[in-house]
Amino acid sequence: MSSVPETRSHIRLTSHSSGLGSLLINWGAASALERGPVVGTTTKRAHRNVIGTHSGSYSVYRALAVAAGALDPKHKADLTNTSPTDRIGPHPSWTQPGKIVSLDPWGAEIGQYYGEQLASGYDIRPTIAVTKAHVILPEIMEAMQKAV
């Protein structure tokens, strides 16, 4: 017997933007407030202003957890103390017409830039995480030791 609510016929992984009630995005703007937040929510379809979804490829894992009954579909992570370790940009080239920007320079600090919209009920979530990490690959270390 499934613990998924009977009223759910499917779990939405991603969808197109809806436009109705969504916040405008001014791509190429020089500041977070001018540009506007990227909203890829699956919970309030009218608020979506992008194609895709929050959490990107991890949305599949979220959907599996919801389908298994292990996660409330309306769950939002507590982002307290999740500030980035380093700042990325913005760089002048990000505001030049004709240039393509593949990351959201303000997406790691949504609370700082979009607090008013969050308080108004928009489901805005980070679009990027900026962390410092040390990757230890034992097989590489072993190969290097053998080479010496």
As to burial, measured by CB atoms within 10 angstroms (0-12 exposed, 13-18 middle, 19+ buried), residue 41 is buried
Which of 36-40, 65-69, 97-101, 106-110 is the least confident region?
A: 97-101
Q: How far apart are CA 79 and CA 135, in angstroms?
A: 24
> Across residues 46-51, what is the average pLDDT?
86
Average pLDDT, the chain: 82
pLDDT above 90 (res 36): yes
Q: How far apart are CA 102 and CA 48, in angstroms?
A: 19
Q: What is the pLDDT of residue 15?
A: 61
DSSP H or E stretch at residue 35: helix 32-35
Amino acid identity of residue 103, one-letter, is: L
Q: How far apart are CA 51 and CA 45, in angstroms?
A: 11
Q: What is the pLDDT of residue 1?
A: 44
Predicted structure pTM score: 0.71
Asked if omega into 90 is within 30° of 0 (cis), the reply is yes
